Structure 1
Amino acid sequence: MAANDVEKSKDIIQLDTVVVTATRREQSLQKVPVAVSIIQGKALDEKQQNSLEAIIKEIPSVNFNTMSTNKDSSLFIRGIGTISTSPGVEPSVSTVIDGVVLSRPGQATLDLLDIDRIEVLRGPQGTLFGKNATAGVVNIVTKNPTEKPEAYVDVYFSDDHEQRVKLGASGALIPGILKANVSALLSNFDGNIYNFKMQQDVNGYRTQGIRSKFEYNPNDAVSLGLALDYVHKKSTAPFGALVSSSNTDYLESIAPVIASSENRTVNSPEETIDDTNQGIALTADWFLDHHQISSITALRQWKNDQRPIYNYLPEATQQFALIHDRGEVDSKQFSQELRLSSLGEGRVNYVVGAYFSKNDNDEKTQRYAHWYDATIQDYADDYALAYFGTESRNYAIFGEGTWNLNQRLRFITGLRLTRDELSFYHNRQATVPSYLESRNNIRTAVANSGSTTETGLSGRAGIQFDISPTINSYLTYSRGYKGPAYNVYFNMRNIDTPVIDPETSNAYELGLKTQWLNNTLRLNLAAFYTEYDNFQANFRVIDNAGGASTRLINAGAVSTKGFELDSHYQVNENLYLSLAAANIHARIDNFKCPPADAACPNVNGKTLPNSPDWKLSAQVNQYIPLTAHRRIELSSQYAWQSQTQFDIGQNELTIQPSYGIWNASLGLSDTAAHWRVAFLVRNILDKSYSARLAATSYGLYRNVPRDDQRYLGISFHKDF
């Protein structure tokens, strides 16, 4: 929450009342029996945070699985997330935009535009948000059109050549009946990794986006909406920068790259990611005497074209092949949700509904390998082309009710019945001879297909008790369900064709939501314990011949437990403090070794990947009034986390030590003229860290984050 979002009544300063839709009904944050973290869109704009990846430093319970391409990246909540690149695996963290659920985890990497707020619901939320919410939900709410005409411009530049321009306008097209808004984004960043072969910076991006909403109100009982969005992003993110390698021949072949824990150089041909995210949604709300009927009909398409280099060479040598891909994703989804909600505060408040989604994911991958063939003493080429994909159908009916036993005591019950239909196809043609299992990371030709159906139950039950008018407590049990999966990928083999069983979870949560000092101090606490069975995860397998491959498996039983703190203190009109912390103990309880794995390690009791035990985020905002309308704004934020293991196999090399990032800004604003200018410093202490560490046969690589080193920026915002 932004520091200046306070309520003023008779010179009394209070924290703003935060309204959320965590239960599919608008409720006060302090009354919702769910652990929820809120980030206001205004705060994101002031900090120039423009992607969901940025929230990991704001909300300690959230982490981000950074991969070499955004197609394979995903969000984690309370130590649980999706560790797979297959189109046959759904996310564990559901990303929802204005009520529309995104089907693929890579779609969550979209740029944020015209955001009203982001609600992060922690823990299983399958009852109301669906099967792909076993770890939690990131609920993105964009701004609605306004009746009064308004517009804005937001400009940002950094000293390392990042530029961003955002424009927006809103107002009535037909007063009282039809209103609309539109916002646009243009951004560019050269990158923070130097590529010797290309002689330019990489790990950057170019983005263009537009979002628009229309709202039609023919009368007081009906509201119709149309939302359109389009974002195109072209990135130059490399596979990674080399941290270490024991292979001297390889080190010589990529010179002048020098491997180190802070390496920001590569030496390879160009790599690009071309990403397009677009959608249309139709909403309708009918308001009856005591009920509201809501409908959301949505179409979305996600296209992703990747061109990665796997072994990071400038060219092929007699020792090493040059291997590169072109992967194309075309993901289409249709969804329809219909809900009936009670209005007002009666004896029973409830939401019931039905949901249907159709998801078609088609992928095409071409792999080229240029290598030295000693038998002919010349260079040769291997080539393969694979077409693969999945088709899924999801049907669900759901309902949740709150039974008001008296003014202080409530009972919560909810249930969701889900039917999954999933099928896959895979066809790979290759020049590699059939008697070879694999050469140059290209397997021989194969064709497979399969299908499965499953029925799953999600649910929630609990009690909520108001200890006092400003202290609310709750205890809930949630049952989570994540549907079946197939490990469908370029190098898919016959051993990968069996279906991966559904993942289920049982979660217990105890929460306390409190307000103190005349609502100037908000202190929310949550303690939780969740068990997952048939946990779906990727695991690196070593076969009897010593070959390595990554397989999707039901990894067995895992659990996550801990506590979370979320606090905000409006000391006075000009001083705001916040502190959020999480202690999350995410562990492997009983690991099931994959069949035919000759070197399965004992990982029981070890940490789950992408889950530090401790994280905290602190912020101080200080205002210094200059005149009645003008003031200086000082802001300082610090985020820290303990060490993180990136490999479920517990490779000792893939551990990121603990680190902290300190950011600050100095701004000047004028509330009468509606402008704000700010000077921002990111990573003040110039602390280098890795967003991901991955061990390969060539060495250890790291993903270089945007704030891997200190940089400066200046922003200007003007409202009209």
Structure 2
Amino acid sequence: MKLTSSTRYPRRLELALLPSLIAAALASMPAHAQQAPAAPSAESSQIETVIVTATKRPAPLQTVPIAITVISGAQLEKSNLNTLGAITSQTPTASFRSGASNKDTSLFIRGVGTISTSPGIEPTVSTVIDGVVTARPGQSTMDLLDVDRVEVLRGPQGTLFGKNASAGVISIVTRDPGAEFGGYVDLGFYQGNEKRARFGVSGELKPGVVRGSFSLMHGDYDGNITNVANGARLNGYDRNGARGKLIITPNPDTRIALIADMVKSRDNTPTGVPVGLTVTAYPSNVVGAPNTQYQAGVAPVVPSKTNRSINSEIETRVADDNSGLSAQVDWNAGAHALTSITAYRKWENTQYQDQDRLPLTYRQFPQTVDKGDLSFNQFTQELRVASPKGQFFDYVGGLFYMKAENAETYRRDVTRCVNSVAAALPSGLVPCTPSTTTVDNGVATYGIDSTSASVFGEGAFNFRSDLRAIAGARYTRDKLSFDHNRTSTQLAAIPGVRPAFVAAGSTSVTGYSGRIGPQFDINRDVMVYATASRGYKGPAYNVFFNMQAFDNIAIKPETSNSYEIGLKSSLLNNRLRLNLAAFNTKYDNYQANLNDLVAGTIVTRLINAGSVSTKGIEMDFVAKFSSRFTVSGAAANIQARIDSFNCPPGASASCDVNGKPLPFSPDWRANLRANYKMPVSGGWMADVGADYNYQSEVVYDIGQAPDSIQPAFGIINATLSLYNSEQGWSVTLVGKNLANKSYATNLVNGGGFFARYVPRDDQRYFGISVRKDF
């Protein structure tokens, strides 16, 4: 199967939206309120009620038998947290893998996630934007705009959220337009020449019938890494986005939501900065000899754990465009609520990467430059029915369909001079000469076509007003096919490029998900629940540039069995909210990446790694000591371990990893936040906030490479806001990483040395944002 521009997506957008448009013409349904009730007044000493849609219909957080973390959009904006990767830094049960491109990123919940750039694998953590599932993890890394809240659902959620939710769901809910005309302008300026601007308007377009909102976003940042080759600043971004939303209520019983969004990003994140010149073997812990030749090649850069500089002639960069359209129609059919969500999303990604991380070509170090082009489209259709509340059996059931197509072209250019006889430099490096320099390349074109259809449902048997049983199931049918064609200028392997290769394949699999368990209200303020869940993630193919014969075999679906008990409570006259959860989950046919070698260059290899497990205890709380002083926090002790690892033939890395931790999963993570509000004068209020985020030691490599371990660290942030609600003004001062703690969000083996990915808050920085609501 060869994917071309004419076959990349089979339907026109007009046809894609047809089901929801037809639904709008059918019998009507009451509009579903998606926002929380009005918060208590500024003088209230009670905690406001939080409404979530984790069960596909609005419900108070404390009544939902799922472990959920909720972060408000207002808090994200105030704290300069603009992506899901940044959000996970303050969510103890979630973590994020950084990379030089959106294609290389991953989300993890309870220590489990998917690390792969292959388009033939789906994420373990499902990301949902306004009810629309995204099929690739790179789609969810765009800047966030007009967010009402982010809901992080922990544990398998396949009964209601789709096949790729075996570890959890991150659901992003954007703001609805207001009934009255208004708007805002929000400007932020931060050290490092980071600038952010948001603008939005909202209001009625037709009284009582149509409400609309439109928002724009711009952000740019020079970066916190220096390229000494040309003095350029790297690790920055330039992003622009827009979002429009229409809420149409043609009669009191019908609600239609039409949403369009677009984000264009231009990032220049390097493929890591050098931190060490030795490689420690695992499991012997023998430290190899220092790579003095590489040290000379990157000079004057000095590799260290706090290094923020590179020496490269190529700017690693990525152009990333995300866009989407969706139509959600809710209406009433007698006593039942019906919902249709029709959506189309498009993702375009072009990346350039410097794989050798050096400014010149030497006999010992070939120059390797990559360019990849990705074009991805998905169409989704979901139909749901919800029973009326208050019956013996309350339920939500439905049908889901996804069609996704991915086409990629990836090219690797290799410049080398293996026959150079030039005089060696004092460092031992041998320069290239024009007569001995050759340029080779490999080019791969490959595509993925996937289809998934499922029927699902979950309900509650209400035996008494305080006792109910939860039961849900999902049946999924997945079809997956690929084609791959790689050409090379050489018949034999060259550094980082395997010989020419052509392959195609397909598979189809049936999968099942489910959840069952009791829920009991001890009293009106305390609820407990226990669930047994089964998660399912579909089959996969390791389709990538250096694909070879054994990659033709489909990777088996990943399944999980999870057991969870939880408690949710509102105590002290709703001044203290305390939620607890304990869980034990085992994954079979775990889909993982393992390091491999291609002619001396490290690549990754996707396999069914065997079985892994994750178990732990989670806690989150909110305490309102007075109308002015609030303390909140969360902590998680998660033991994510490899139980039985299946070592593939010819693996270059050690497979002696049974009992070792999963990558990107520290045993302990916690955060603590305090806020104090007080009047100043003339209607102005001050809001002082501080938070501390801690994580224990974490390994970033499933092969347990000792050099890929990030030691434990903690980050302190603070904000000071002055606001006047009547005048609509607010000014916020932000201080990030006040203790100036340097750390790595990823550590990778560059072949004889290690490199780290540098986070935005790797150094202390300050900023100010000004907002005017009108």
Post-superposition offset of 1:598: 6.4
Contact 1:8/1:14 (8 A) holds in 2 = no
| Shift in alpha-carbon separation, 1:493–1:317, aligned structure 2, 3 A | same
Between Structure 1 and Structure 2, which shows a larger proportion of strand residues? 1
Paired positions, count: 712
What runs of 5+ residues in structure 2 fail to find an aligned partner? 1-36, 278-289, 422-434
Whether contact under 8 Å (2:594, 2:653) holds in the other structure is no
2:119 corresponds, among 81, 84, 87, to 87
The residue number in structure 1 matching 2:441 is 383
1:352 Cα offset (Å): 0.8
Question: Are 1:325 and 2:391 an aligned pair?
Answer: no
Q: 8 Å contact 1:396–1:418 — kept in the other structure?
A: yes
Contact 1:432–1:442 under 8 Å retained in 2: no
CA distance in 1, matches of 2:354, 2:569: 52
1:349 is aligned, of 360, 381, 394, to 394
Deviation of the 1:67 alpha carbon: 1.8
Distance 1:629 1:344, change over 3 A: farther
Q: 1:7 pairs with 40, 47, 72, which one?
A: 40
Which aligned pairs between 1:283-294 and structure 2 lie closer than 5 A? 283-294=328-339
**1:375: Cα distance to partner?**
7.5
Matching residue of 1:534: 589
Partner Cα distance (2:185, 2:38) in 1: 21
2:133 matches 1:101: yes
Listed one character per residue, the Cα deviations across residues 107-130 of structure 1 (whole Å, up to 9, x for unaligned) are: 121110000000000000011001
Matching residue of 1:393: 451
The 1-side partners of 2:38 and 2:689 are apart by 15
Q: Which residue of 1 aligns with 2:28?
A: none
Q: Which amino acid in structure 1 is aligned with residue 562 of structure 2?
A: A
Structure 2 residue aligned with 1:315, among 360, 371, 374? 360
Q: Give the SS at the match of 2:264.
A: strand
Asked if the contact 1:290–1:344 (Cα under 8 Å) also holds between the matched residues in 2, the reply is no
Which residue of structure 1 lines up, in the alignment, with residue 672 of structure 2?
618
CA distance in 2, matches of 1:320, 1:12: 66
Which residue is 2:320 aligned to? 275
Q: Deviations over 1:286-305 (max 9, x none)?
A: 12442110000000000110
1:525 counterpart residue number: 580
> Residue 68 of structure 1: CA displacement?
2.2
Whether the aligned pair in 2 keeps the contact of 1:334 and 1:359 (CA below 8 Å) is yes
Task: Trace 1:90-129 onto structure 2 (pairs within 5 A).
Answer: 90-129=122-161
Q: TM-score, normalised by structure 2?
A: 0.90
Give a deviation string over 1:169-215, Cα, whole Å, max 9, x none.
Answer: 10011110111101110110000000012311100000000001011
| Partner residue, 2:34 | none
**Helix, strand or coil: the match of 1:653?**
helix
Counterparts of 2:116 and 2:602, CA distance in 1: 16
Question: Which deviates more, 597-606 or 611-620?
Answer: 597-606
Residue 566 (structure 1) aligned with residue 620 (structure 2):
yes
Which residue of 82, 99, 104 corresponds with 1:72? 104
Alignment match of 1:473 (pick from 519, 523, 528): 528
TM-superposed deviation, 1:12? 4.9
Q: Aligned to 2:296, which of 242, 252, 256? A: 252
2:154 and 2:252 map into 1 onto residues whose CA distance is: 35
Aligned to 2:429: none
In the alignment, structure 1 residue 217 sits paired with structure 2 residue 275 = no
Is 1:354–1:396's contact at 8 Å kept on the other side of the alignment?
yes
* Match runs of 1:580-599 below 5 Å: 580-597=634-651
Native 8 Å contact 1:74 1:108 kept in 2: no
Cross-structure match for 1:414: 472
Of 62, 65, 74 in structure 2, the residue corresponding to residue 33 of structure 1 is 65
Assess if the C-alpha contact under 8 Å between 1:325 and 1:366 holds in 2.
Answer: yes
- Larger deviation, residues 593-602 vs 362-371: 593-602
The one-letter code matched in structure 1 to 2:40 is E
> Does 1:306 find its partner at 2:364?
no
By how many angstroms is 1:550 displaced?
2.1
2:569 equivalent among 510, 514, 520: 514
Report which stretch shifted further, 366-375 or 480-489.
366-375
Kindly provide the amino acid, as one letter, of the partner of residue 371 in structure 2: R
Q: Which residue number corresponds to residue 160 of structure 1?
A: 192
TM-score, with normalisation over the residues of structure 1? 0.97
1:400-549 map, 5 Å: 400-433=458-491, 436=492, 438-541=493-596, 549=603
Q: Alpha-carbon deviation of 1:346?
A: 1.6
Counterpart selection for 2:74 from 42, 54, 69: 42
1:685 is the counterpart of 2:739: yes
> Which of 227, 233, 244 matches 2:259?
227
The separation in 1 between residues aligned to 2:260 and 2:404, in whole angstroms, is: 19
- Please, which runs of 5 or more residues in structure 1 have no aligned partner? none
How far apart are the structure 1 equivalents of 2:531 and 2:60? Answer: 18
Code of the aligned partner of 1:326 = K
The Cα of 1:631 is off from its aligned counterpart by 1.4
Output the CA distance in 2 between the equivalents of 1:225 and 1:408: 35
Provide the residue aligned with 1:719 in structure 2: 773
Equivalents in 2 of 1:646, 1:120: separation in Å? 22
Taking the aligned partners of 1:428 and 1:57, their CA distance within structure 2 comes to 39
> What is the one-letter code of the residue matched to 2:255?
S
Q: Secondary structure at the match of 1:373?
A: coil
Do the aligned partners of residues 664 and 549 (structure 1) sit closer, same or farther apart at CA in structure 2, a change above 3 Å counting?
Answer: closer
Q: In the alignment, is the contact (CA less than 8 A) between 2:496 and 2:601 conserved in 1? A: no
Residues 228, 279 of structure 1: 8 Å contact kept: yes
Amino acid of the residue matched to residue 670 of structure 2?
Answer: L
Cα 1:620–1:197 change in 2 (3 A) is same
**In structure 2, do the counterparts of structure 1 residues 375 and 203 end up closer, same or farther at CA, with 3 Å as the change threshold?**
closer
Q: CA deviation at 1:495?
A: 1.8
Identical-residue share of aligned pairs (%): 46
User: How far did 1:597 drift?
Assistant: 2.9
Cα deviation digits, residues 299-341 of structure 1 (max 9, x gap):
0000110000001011212221110011011110000000001
CA distance in 2, matches of 1:660, 1:99: 34
SS of corresponding position for 2:160:
helix
The root-mean-square deviation of aligned C-alpha atoms, in Å, is 1.6
CA distance in 1, matches of 2:727, 2:739: 35
> Quick one: structure 1 residues 701 and 380, their matched pair in 2 at CA, closer, same or farther if it must change by over 3 Å?
same
